[in-house]
A and B are shown apart, each in its own frame.
Chain A
Amino acid sequence: MKRIALTLLCAGFAAAAFAADFGLVFDNVSSYAYSGEGTFFQKDRATLWLSMPVSAAFDFYGSLRTDYRYPDASSPFGQSAFSVDVGRLEFKGSLPMGSGSPLALTAGRFLLADDGTRLLSGRMDGATLSYFLPGMSIDGMVGYMGLLPKEDAKVLVSVDDIADYEDADLYFAAPRVVATARVRFTELFARHDLSVTLVGQFDLRSLAEADPDEIVHSQYLALSLKGPIARLLYHEAYADLGTGERTSGFALMGAAGYALKFFMPEVAQLKLAFSADYATGSSGVFAPFVPISQRQVGFAFNAPLGNNLIFGLDASMKPVSVLTFGLKGNAFLRASTQKLEDPDFSDGSKELYLGVEADAYAYLDIASDVSLSLSGGAFVPNAGGTYVSGSPVRYIASGTATLSF
């Protein structure tokens, strides 16, 4: 009996392996940043992936990645140049729901982002469910972040998170449950889509020694509206309202923004965009805005989202089918006079203007399996104002090459 079972098991794996697709992707990232002193960063990543159907309605996708980094960073085996991680481990499919549309299910380790990727983006361990109805869709997700590398999760909500992030001996992110629920209305009015999302993160660590002023858990209500306003002209607006739970009470925080986009496909796919983004600082009833996954608001300017007012212009075009080229400019202000966590910050400064940044970027798709991207930027700080006199211009240059086998 055991032999029969073993034979059937081997046959099953053989059939699955026959149907599987697999490959290897090499990425090389090199960057150099200057902010008074130069730092060089190098990362070489090899990702082995496997994709296969597991049933008539379900597929599996898994990837394992190994990294070489310079300088050393945290890894499952301490500070090291090398690291290994499960990239994705995803079961995806649909469950029939009677006569209605099927229920889409994803479980495992998958990629996730909220609309606009302001609150939460990156990988997540958990499950999502999506259901589509005429003119609308509903989806929900529950995930756990404690098995993700802290560098990827980049959760810097509480003081403990920041301390853990800076602790070289820690590799994993803090144990934390994240849940989202979203309703999307397609073409609700004047071809505009409305999205309403609830997002919450709950720290599973004990609060016994928490700083009374640090935000521990946080919840957000995110609204997003986008659609065309004329031929070739589109716009989108968003508003996020968040509450942060402290041991001493609640903190209120918010972010809002607007973008106007012009797209002319017949002229080398020309895209022009103007954007304005605001995230609360420590002012009045508001606390500094803190998203779940932290992201940098500039390229050379390495400040996080929170206590910002940013005006941006972005222009890109595709002069030939394999090349995308763009220029970007941002003016940065702080939303309140709250002190900046920056070594060049001028203590006591009341100025809001922080500086201006100019970036250039190019993506070259040499072939379907070879691509190259180059980007560079310079941030000119408001030296003598928000920053101390003589604060240097900050530069960054980065290049990424990808080869797929």
Chain B
Amino acid sequence: MSKNVVIMLVVILWAAAAMYAQSNEAIDRILAADAVDYGKVAYLVLVASDNIAEDAGESRSFEMLKELKWVDPGVAETDPVSLSEYAYFLMKAFGLRGGLMYSLVPGKRYAYRELVSRKVIQGRADPADRVTGDRAIRVLGRILDLVGD
């Protein structure tokens, strides 16, 4: 087993441990997704950042995301999330400070750049990419590592 696979497994396990309160079923659904949607991402990010209770569910989490005005009003819960939008939710939910441009113009563009710069987003990536469930969990694991949770 290569070193990278071991590291990946440790990160996934750590992320899973940090989110121990989340429903196993929800995590399974996220991991199985080829492209995570706003509902799944809202639940994952808001629960992991202690912004919502674990039993809130995807719909309630998505509503909270809208109330916080982190998403465009026109999007639906089942719409797929782009990698740059996911980066923005993570930056907001965990209260991460970005670079100069993120401070001046906070948004998904500079959130994505920030997480690439901090090596939270790794490998072949494009801001418009859809996010697989597996990638969403791994990126969240690195965020938890970064914030020392």
A222-230, A253-261, A306-314, A363-371: which lies at the interface: A363-371
Q: Please, which residues of chain A bring their CB within 8 A of the CB of B103?
A: 367
Residues of chain A with a CB closer than 8 A to B102's CB: 368-369
The 8 A CB mask of B41-62 against A (1 = contact, 0 = none) is 0000000000000000000000
- Contact pick for A369, options B112, B113, B124, B129, CB 8 Å: B113
Complex interface: chain A residues within 8 A of B98 (CB): 367-368
Per a CB cutoff under 8 Å, which of A21, A53, A59, A370 touches B99? Answer: A370
Chain B residues with Cβ under 8 A from A368's Cβ? 98-99, 102, 113-114, 117-118
Contact between A53 and B126 (Cβ–Cβ < 8 Å)? yes
8 Å CB interface, B79-107 against A: 98-103
Smallest beta-carbon distance B68→chain A, Å = 24
Q: Mark A49-63, 1 if CB is under 8 A from B, else 0.
A: 001110000010000
Evaluate contact between B128 and A18: CB separation under 8 angstroms: yes
Contact residues in B for A18 (Cβ distance below 8 Å) = 128
- The answer to whether A59 touches B114, judged by C-beta atoms less than 8 angstroms apart, is no
Using a Cβ–Cβ cut-off of 8 Å, how many residues does chain B contribute to the interface with A? 17
- Nearest CB in chain A: distance from B56 CB, A: 32
Whether A221 is near chain B, meaning CB under 8 Å from some CB there, is no
B127 nearest CB neighbor, chain A only: A21
Question: Are A59 and B124 interface neighbours, CB within 8 A?
Answer: yes
Bound state CA distance, A53 and B101, in angstroms? Answer: 25
Expressed in whole angstroms, the minimum distance between the Cβ of B113 and any Cβ of chain A is 7
Query: Which of A357-378 touch B at CB < 8 Å?
Result: 366-370
Of A52, A370, A403, which is within 8 A of B126 by CB?
A52
Cα of A315 to Cα of B28 in the assembled complex, Å: 49
Check B126 against A405 for contact (C-beta < 8 Å).
no
With beta carbons under 8 angstroms apart, the residue of B118, B124, B126 that contacts A21 is B126
Q: Which of B99, B112, B124, B129 contacts A367 (CB 8 A)?
A: B99
Q: How close is A168's CB to chain B, nearest CB, in angstroms?
A: 39
Closest to B116 in A: A368
Q: Is A19 an interface position by the 8 A CB rule?
A: yes
Q: With A and B bound together, what is the CA distance between A52 and B99 in angstroms?
A: 23
Residue of B nearest to A366 (CB): B100
Interfacial chain A residues near B101, Cβ < 8 Å? 369, 404-405
Q: Smallest CB-CB separation from A367: which chain B residue?
A: B99
How far is it, in angstroms, between the C-alpha of A173 and the C-alpha of B135 when the chains are bound? 45
A contact residues around B126 at 8 Å (CB): 19-21, 51-53
Q: Which residues of A line the B interface, CB within 8 A?
A: 18-21, 23, 51-53, 59, 366-370, 403-405
A sample of 9 more A-B contacts (CB under 8 A), given A51-B126, A368-B114, A369-B110, is: A20-B126, A21-B112, A21-B126, A23-B113, A367-B99, A367-B103, A368-B98, A369-B100, A370-B100
16 contacts between A and B (CB under 8 A): A18-B128, A19-B128, A20-B126, A21-B112, A367-B100, A367-B103, A368-B99, A368-B102, A368-B114, A369-B117, A370-B99, A370-B100, A403-B100, A404-B99, A404-B113, A405-B101
